[in-house]
Amino acid sequence: MLQASRGTVKAGTNFNAGADAEVLHKAMKGLGTDEDAILQLLTARSNAQRQGIKDTYKTLFGKDLIDDLKGELGGKFESLIVALMTPPIAYDVTCLRNAIKGAGTDEKVLVEILASRTPQQVKDIIAAYRQEYDDDLEEDVCGDTSGHFKRLLVILLQVNMIFSSLSALFKAGEQKYGTDEQSFVTILGNRSAEHLRKVFDAYMKMTGYEMEESIQRETSGNLSALLLAVVKCARSVPAYFAETLYYAMKGAGTDDDTLIRVMVSRSEVDLLDIRSHFRRLFACSLHSMIQGDTGGDYRKALLLLCGGDDA
């Protein structure tokens, strides 16, 4: 079970929203900006505390803190700080909206968020999405995706927990020629993580294949990516995110959007567990990979969120 205490970011002790608002205001006042003061303060406060600072800043200075931060900062560092200032559910909602309504669909964001969030979080996301945009998230997803990929996203949005027999999965995959993708979609989309883990173990005994191997062999493209994400999250959400972070930084270029999204959204949830899975799965620590792959204030802030080196 995910526990909030497994995050790297904790609520600051002796918290004083007014004093923090003053520090931020001073950091942005006059010529030049004290980026270091901004990042040191915001990475040492919980999201709830940041919301308190934002409200107090408005009261004290009559200005919107996020607007001021956007005016003073730039690039990836700005994106990271704005993400830190956004309430978690609102952040997921914004990421999903941008993934659907941007130029082309960013399937990777849909996969990551809908496969990894708890049923209650998904319900909260749907409600917040409707409130923010006066749109139905399921309808927007349906309008922007197709086929079995769309069907599984819809099932994940409906967060039903229906149980069914293992034999259906076996028949859908390795036992027969051609793949009944609908069976994979329905069975993997409709079950609790605990139930799915038992199914995977039994599937392995019955077929001699890991579920991931069968999915990779039997499906492709966005559907394959989504099915794999569902399976990996059923096994271990932190391990799934460790892998997501690794591939965001591996090779030429960095997928900064993914790096920011995961580091921010997991910082108060399970980033300590993600770090330990990262160290076990790959030949380096998360800290050292961020250090080698990023720079400047952006790197400083990410390393503070990371909260330590497991080298």
The yes-or-no verdict on residue 259 having pLDDT over 60 is: yes
| Band (1; pLDDT cuts 50, 70, 90) | very low
Tens digit of each residue's pLDDT (9 = 90 or more) over 44-75: 999 999 999 999 999 999 999 999 999 999 99
Can you give the pLDDT at residue 194? Answer: 81
Please report the sign of the dihedral spanned by the C-alpha atoms of residue 164, residue 165, residue 167, residue 169.
Answer: positive
Largest CA distance in the chain: 70
Task: Give the DSSP per-residue string, 29-86.
Answer: SSSS--HHHHHHHHTTS-HHHHHHHHHHHHHHHSS-HHHHHHHH--HHHHHHHHHHTS
Please tell me which residue, 182 or 284, carries the higher pLDDT value.
284
Q: Cα 236 to the chain's mean position, in Å?
A: 14
| Residue 245 token pair | 């972070």
Please tell me which residue, 270 or 215, carries the higher pLDDT value.
270
Can you give the pLDDT at residue 188? Answer: 67
- pTM, entire model: 0.89
| Residue 2 token pair | 């995910």
Can you give the pLDDT at residue 304? Answer: 98
* Residue whose token pair is 């010529």: 31
Q: Across the chain, what does the average pLDDT equal?
A: 89
> Torsion angle, CA of 81/99/122/8, rounded to 10 degrees?
-30
Number of alpha carbons in the 13 Å side-chain half-sphere of residue 7: 20
Tens digit of each residue's pLDDT (9 = 90 or more) over 74-132: 999 999 999 999 999 999 999 999 999 978 899 999 999 999 998 889 999 999 999 99
Q: Cα 175 to the chain's mean position, in Å?
A: 35
Taken as a whole, the chain contains a residue count of 311
The closest of 76, 86, 117, 105 to 260, measured between CA atoms, is 76
Kind and range of the H or E run holding 28: helix 17-28
Can you give the pLDDT at residue 307? Answer: 96
The yes-or-no verdict on residue 163 having pLDDT over 60 is: no
Least confident of 11-20, 160-169, 226-235, 252-261: 160-169
The yes-or-no verdict on residue 249 having pLDDT over 70 is: yes
Q: Which domains does the chain have, with CATH numbers?
A: 17-73 (1.10.220.10), 89-235 (1.10.220.10), 238-306 (1.10.220.10)
Can you give the pLDDT at residue 293? Answer: 96
CA–CA separation, 50 vs 201, rounded Å?
43
Can you give the pLDDT at residue 311? Answer: 81
